[in-house]
Amino acid sequence: MFTGIIEEIGVVSLLARKDQSGCVTISLKKMFNDLARGDSISVNGVCLTVTEVGRNAFAADISPETIETSNLSQLKIGQKVNLERALSFGGRLGGHLVLGHVDGIVLLVEKRVTQKGYEFFFNVPRNFKKYIVAKGSVALDGVSLTVASITKDGFSVAMIPHSIQATNFNQKHVGDKINLEVDIISKYIENLLRGDPVTPTEAMFMESGILPIGIVDN
């Protein structure tokens, strides 16, 4: 589980593809001291498992399902990617709960300069629009962002200069495809309203106050 607060920008240094899967090696300016084989790490919002750790670099495998549903299929040597290590128990949740399970890809259709930074506009697949609400949370290439507005074909987010410089969004252009993970809480609420049995995870969220108790008749 992640928070959507990017820790570092890595650079793709090696790519290997075999059939429908692949392996990526990512170089870092400053190595994560506690990174080890088997750890989970978010790469552009996709939860990958570290398979090798080297000097200022690590490798991770990319599954066929990940290649099919995310923009990791378009990675190139030299490309910059957003990185975040898994959330540790007792750590601060600075963004929102991000699982690293990409729901789909959105298209960047407009980029506006504002007084406080930039506003990015995205077209979103119709089946995901119901999960996106104004002032709600989304993860875009692993970055936790707040929805600024809802448009006919999608939504927009606002970013301050610091957030842009701390992520790979300073290299985003109109026409780019971005990984989208909708807020998992919206999916849980949908299940509860539909009358599905309460899962252990939903029960935990209810006890912690993240999900409202009494949304369904038990």
Quote the pLDDT of residue 137: 92
Residue 32, pLDDT score: 85
> DSSP for 165-213?
HTSGGGG--TT-EEEEEE-HHHHHHHHHHHTPPPPHHHHHHHHHTSS-T
The alpha carbon dihedral of 62, 64, 69, 74 has a sign of positive
What are residue 63's phi and psi, to 5 degrees?
-80, 160
CB 104 within 8 A of CB 125: yes
Identify whether the C-beta of residue 121 lies closer than 8 Å to the C-beta of residue 156: yes
- Displacement of CA 9 from its chain's centroid (Å): 14
- Model pLDDT, residue 82: 97
What 3-state class would DSSP assign to 29? coil
Distance, in Å, from the CA atom of 39 to the CA atom of 41, rounded to the nearest integer, reads 6
pLDDT, position 218? 46
pLDDT confidence of residue 88: 76
> Tens-digit pLDDT profile for the chain (218 aa)?
898 999 999 999 999 987 788 999 999 988 788 899 999 999 999 999 999 998 899 999 999 999 999 999 999 999 999 999 998 766 666 667 888 999 999 999 999 999 889 999 999 999 999 999 999 999 999 999 999 999 999 999 999 999 999 999 999 999 999 999 998 888 777 777 776 666 666 666 666 656 555 555 44
Helix (H) or strand (E) holding 100, with range, is: none
CATH class for domain 8-85?
mainly beta
Question: What is the residue extent of each domain of the chain?
Answer: 8-85
